[in-house]
């Protein structure tokens, strides 16, 4: 079980119950919901999408009068980009809006393909460009790249590589894999990383895929590597156990606080747990006991307060807040349809039939803040891109923890988007930025000669030819000195040639002709040397 995803589901329920008890947002209106598990599977997601489009089974609260059928008004989700795309293509023609909390593929911003799609998490287009600028910022020109073989990984890495090439960054290898690949494929990717010379690894992977790769890498020791992560896995608490990821840096969604949410998660009685198959699985797996009568029956002494699990970890709520904001964005859209403010009092019509197209139209206009977090969408259904720069640092106990060391704000002008607020602890535990280049810089006096069959960042430094110089580092060519100049010993600068000549009045030792030629040198107009022999010719 992915208990982090279970927390996301309960964040949706928590937000809906908050709204149903609110006197300001949709007063007198009760929102209902159904939650489906796609199992990160496209076929399962498609099946659920057809159910949503066809109308859910009629459900009524016996204590309330429902005004409409069970047709869905809006969808929250999915977590993965590929299942999200499948769902959107099915419900889109029915004008059913979809607000995702974790689907980041830039392809979903295409309104021609996904006209009803919105998201509370930034598009990967922003993250890919930010990652390239981050790599360039630290002077790394030689990197390795791994990605999930999915829409998220393929599109995200393609955007990153385009931006990286523009920054003059070269890639030693680019490997893709998926969590369902055979073990031999995962081993192959791990071996490529172990044999590589690039110190930097940029991983555009989903958390489920990254877990498989890190577990494989943990089997054998390998040289230290500096990991650069995306928002999908860079802030996943369950990965802090991988000690070789110390010093990793990457982007994460802003840390947030949802008042009352932790208490809600921990308010689990045995009856509540037994009523939910998922909570039952969580409970029995965490405490190694059974709720049914067995030899290891749960006896009531189990303390959820002491459970260390991604489900109960609310210390750094990030994606969870994206779920929370998605629910509230839909609620605000519905509020604008059924509610009016009359004499400072909000009055809502509980019997007004709400059509999905109306919710879709109002979502485009949503603009509100909740607990200090702003929510709005641009023309593509995307929010403003803002990321925290997260560093995996060692704490006093020797373990790893997430520390914010900066942030990236795409709304700011170029040159001001990055803001570093703390020093970074690198993979070796020190504060010195690691070096990752294919070839060292060529000094003046040499020129770069590309190594056959390798990227532009790999080259040899060849001394300039006789009579030529290069006066800058990493020069691609040498050039000859002007007339009357010649290179210095290091072939870095051109110096004037010394002028030497004989005066006509200068004394010369007489010499009887012996058959050997006698030369007279003199300066002539034009600066040339004229040589004359006494033998003629």
Question: What is the domain-level CATH number for residue 231?
Answer: 3.40.50.2300
**What's the CA gap between 242 and 236, in Å, rounded?**
11
**Are 110 and 128 found together in one domain?**
no
516 assigned to some structural domain = no
pLDDT on residue 67? 54
**Are 59 and 91 found together in one domain?**
yes
171 assigned to some structural domain = yes
**Are 141 and 33 found together in one domain?**
no
**What's the CA gap between 192 and 510, in Å, rounded?**
80
Q: Is the pLDDT of residue 526 over 50?
A: no
DSSP-assigned states of every residue in 306-327: G--STTT--TTBSHHHHHHHHH
**Are 207 and 187 found together in one domain?**
yes
Domain carrying residue 478: 446-496
- Give the mean pLDDT of the chain: 89
Q: Is the pLDDT of residue 528 over 70?
A: no
User: Helices 3-20 and 319-338 meet at what angle, rounded to 10?
Assistant: 30
Total structural domains in the chain?
A: 3
**What's the CA gap between 218 and 239, in Å, rounded?**
12
399 assigned to some structural domain = yes
**Are 399 and 343 found together in one domain?**
no
pLDDT on residue 535? 44
**What's the CA gap between 243 and 399, in Å, rounded?**
8
227 assigned to some structural domain = yes
Confidence of residue 506 (pLDDT cuts 50, 70, 90): low
**Are 111 and 135 found together in one domain?**
no
Cβ atoms 141, 198 nearer than 8 A: no
Pick from 308, 337, 370: which residue ends a domain?
A: 370
Please tell me the least confidently modeled range out of 137-146, 153-162, 421-430: 421-430
pLDDT on residue 215? 97
pLDDT on residue 523? 47
In this predicted model, what pLDDT tens digit does every residue of 176-201 receive, in sequence order?
999 999 999 999 999 999 999 999 99
Q: Is the pLDDT of residue 511 over 50?
A: no
Cβ atoms 328, 335 nearer than 8 A: no
Pick from 480, 496, 512: which residue ends a domain?
A: 496
129 assigned to some structural domain = yes
**Are 107 and 136 found together in one domain?**
no
Rounded to two decimals, the pTM is 0.83
In this predicted model, what pLDDT tens digit does every residue of 348-392 receive, in sequence order?
998 888 999 999 999 999 999 999 999 999 999 999 999 999 999
pLDDT on residue 165? 95
379 assigned to some structural domain = no
- Strand boundaries in 206-304, DSSP class E: 226-229, 249-252
453-458 long-range CB contacts below 8 Å, 24 or more apart?
A: 455/170, 455/171, 455/172, 456/168, 456/170, 457/141, 457/142, 457/168, 457/169, 457/170, 458/170
**What's the CA gap between 199 and 188, in Å, rounded?**
18
285 assigned to some structural domain = no
**Are 181 and 241 found together in one domain?**
yes
Confidence of residue 533 (pLDDT cuts 50, 70, 90): very low
**Are 415 and 327 found together in one domain?**
no
**Are 110 and 188 found together in one domain?**
no
**Are 65 and 81 found together in one domain?**
yes
378 assigned to some structural domain = no
Q: Is the pLDDT of residue 500 over 90?
A: no
**Are 209 and 231 found together in one domain?**
yes
Backbone φ, ψ for residue 165 (5° rounding): -60, -35
Q: Is the pLDDT of residue 451 over 90?
A: yes
pLDDT on residue 334? 96
Confidence of residue 518 (pLDDT cuts 50, 70, 90): very low
In this predicted model, what pLDDT tens digit does every residue of 240-286 receive, in sequence order?
999 999 999 999 999 999 999 999 999 988 788 888 899 999 999 88
């Amino acid at each position: 079980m992915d208990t982090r995803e279970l927390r996301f589901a309960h964040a949706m329920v928590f937000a809906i119950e908050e709204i149903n008890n609110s006197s300001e947002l949709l007063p007198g209106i009760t929102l209902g919901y159904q939650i489906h598990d796609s199992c990160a599977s496209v076929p399962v997601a498609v099946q659920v999408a057809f159910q949503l489009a066809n109308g859910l089974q009629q459900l009524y609260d016996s204590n309330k009068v429902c005004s409409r059928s069970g047709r869905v008004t809006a969808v929250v989700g999915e977590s993965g980009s590929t299942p999200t795309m499948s769902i959107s293509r099915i419900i889109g023609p029915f004008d059913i809006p979809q607000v995702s909390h974790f689907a980041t593929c830039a392809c979903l911003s295409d309104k021609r393909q996904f006209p009803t799609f919105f998201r509370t998490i930034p598009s990967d287009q922003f993250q890919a460009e930010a990652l390239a600028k981050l790599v360039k910022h630290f002077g790394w020109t030689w990197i390795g790249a791994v990605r999930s073989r999915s829409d998220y990984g393929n599109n995200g890495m393609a955007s990153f590589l385009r931006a990286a090439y523009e920054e003059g960054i070269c890639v030693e290898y680019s490997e893709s894999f998926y969590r369902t690949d055979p073990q031999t494929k995962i081993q192959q990717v791990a071996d490529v990383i172990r044999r590589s010379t690039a110190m930097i690894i940029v991983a555009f992977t989903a958390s489920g895929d990254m877990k498989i790769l890190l577990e494989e890498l943990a089997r054998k020791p390998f040289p230290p590597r500096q990991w650069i992560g995306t928002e999908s896995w860079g802030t996943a608490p369950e990965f802090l156990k991988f000690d070789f990821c110390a010093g990793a840096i990457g982007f994460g969604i802003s840390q947030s606080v949802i008042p009352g949410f932790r208490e809600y998660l921990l308010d689990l009685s045995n009856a509540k747990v037994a009523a939910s198959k998922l909570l039952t699985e969580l409970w029995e797996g965490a405490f190694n006991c059974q709720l049914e009568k067995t030899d290891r029956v749960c006896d009531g002494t189990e303390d959820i307060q002491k459970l260390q699990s991604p489900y109960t970890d609310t210390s750094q709520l990030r994606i969870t807040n994206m779920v929370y904001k998605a629910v509230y964005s839909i609620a605000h859209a519905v509020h604008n349809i059924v509610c009016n403010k009359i004499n400072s009092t909000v009055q809502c019509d509980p019997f007004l039939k709400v059509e999905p197209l109306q919710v879709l139209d109002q979502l485009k206009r949503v603009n509100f803040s909740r607990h200090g977090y702003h929510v709005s969408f641009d023309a593509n259904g995307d929010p403003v891109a803002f990321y925290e720069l997260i560093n995996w640092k060692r704490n006093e106990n020797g373990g790893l923890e997430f520390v914010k060391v900066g942030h990236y704000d795409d709304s700011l002008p170029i040159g001001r988007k990055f803001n570093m607020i703390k020093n970074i602890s690198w993979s070796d535990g020190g504060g010195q930025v690691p070096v990752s280049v294919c070839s060292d810089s060529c000094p003046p006096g040499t020129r770069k000669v590309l190594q056959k069959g390798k990227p532009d960042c790999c080259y040899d430094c060849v001394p300039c030819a006789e009579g030529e110089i290069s006066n800058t580092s990493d020069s691609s060519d040498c050039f000859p000195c002007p007339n009357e100049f010649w290179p210095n010993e290091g072939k870095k600068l051109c110096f004037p040639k010394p002028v030497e000549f004989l005066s006509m009045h200068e004394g010369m030792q007489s010499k009887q002709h012996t058959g050997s030629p006698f030369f007279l040198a003199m300066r002539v107009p034009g600066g040339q040397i004229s040589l004359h022999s006494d033998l003629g010719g």
